[in-house]
Amino acid sequence: MNAIYAVFLTLLWTTTPLAIKWSVNGLPPTLAVTLRFALAALVVGVWLRWGSTAAAQRTGLRRNQLIAGGASACSMLCTYWAAQHVSSGLIAVLFGLIPLMTALFARLWLDEALSAGELLAMICGMTGLGLIFAEHLHPGPGGWLAVLVILLAVALQSGAAVWLKRSSVGLPAAAINGGALVVCSTITLLTWLGTGAQLPAATPPATTLGAVLYLAVIGSALGFSIYYRLIQSCRPLSVALISLITPATALWLGHIANNETITPRLGQGSALILGGVLLHLLAQHARRSLRQW
């Protein structure tokens, strides 16, 4: 089942960049992300009440909801702000550091050490990611502040994943997501209000509204619930490796669905990324074999 969840998240995060791009076509970014999280919180709230999961008020649930929601909202707001100053390619490469930063937090908080095979897998995957976006790695004027902000977003996401692994054992993933989405929508709403509460000049196109609905229901309500479930049952590093795959698959999707230009380096980089994933799977198999032995 975890393998199915991982494939689902890979497909979901592949479509997310294109959906975000469509969702801000005619909508202010802060309003688009606020609508996304508010709708998602409503969907999960109905889901929890219908499934009688809302009564699971267990020790530490609120704390984990605050951590998950605060980290997700702040990470996304950092990324949206930085996207005004640096290319999407540079953002993708920096987010490719998530496995490395996750491994650092896992070492500090979970006492998990990287094997040589896992380290080689990360180097291989990050090399492929860098090859794909080689032309976009130079920040423009004032871009170094944006780079630091993106690194903060990466640290928030990685740290929250490892913290949840440590402290959310036995808590329903959907319940964590429900409270986290309320926190996310509150933070993004306050940000939208604090930046002038800008409204769209005209009625957004159907593709924009459809993208917001997709990101809310599939991306946040369902996707985050599965993400938190995977964090609980798998090593955080294994889940984080999805962030190496999705930039390449998102480029292929953008080429197919949005006529975006791709370069020959995409094939070479994709091969390196897939090689890194394969090395990680082999390293995981070797780790399990040693434990059994």
Is residue 55 pLDDT above 50, yes or no? no
Most confident of 82-96, 108-122, 181-195, 267-281: 181-195
pLDDT on residue 211: 92
In the structure, what pLDDT confidence band is assigned to residue 54 with cuts at 50, 70 and 90?
very low
Higher-confidence position of 106 and 291:
106
pLDDT (average), residues 225-241: 85
Report the percentage of the chain scoring pLDDT > 90.
Answer: 24
pLDDT on residue 288: 63
Q: What is the pLDDT of residues 242-266, one digit of tens each?
A: 877 887 777 777 777 767 677 788 7
pLDDT (average), residues 230-238: 83
pLDDT (average), residues 126-131: 84
Mean of per-residue pLDDT scores for the chain: 83
3 state SS for the chain = CHHHHHHHHHHHHHHHHHHHHHHCCCCCHHHHHHHHHHHHHHHHHHHHHHCCCCCCCCCCHHHHHHHHHHHHHHHHHHHHHHCCCCCHHHHHHHHCCHHHHHHHHHHHHCCCCCCHHHHHHHHHHHHHHHHHCHHHCCCCCCHHHHHHHHHHHHHHHHHHHHHHHHHCCCCCHHHHHHHHHHHHHHHHHHHHHHCCCCCCCCCCCHHHHHHHHHHHHHHHHHHHHHHHHHHHHCCHHHHHCHHHHHHHHHHHHHHHHHCCCCCCHHHHHHHHHHHHHHHHHHHHHHHHHHHHC
Residues 6+ apart with CB under 8 A from 167: 60, 63, 64, 67
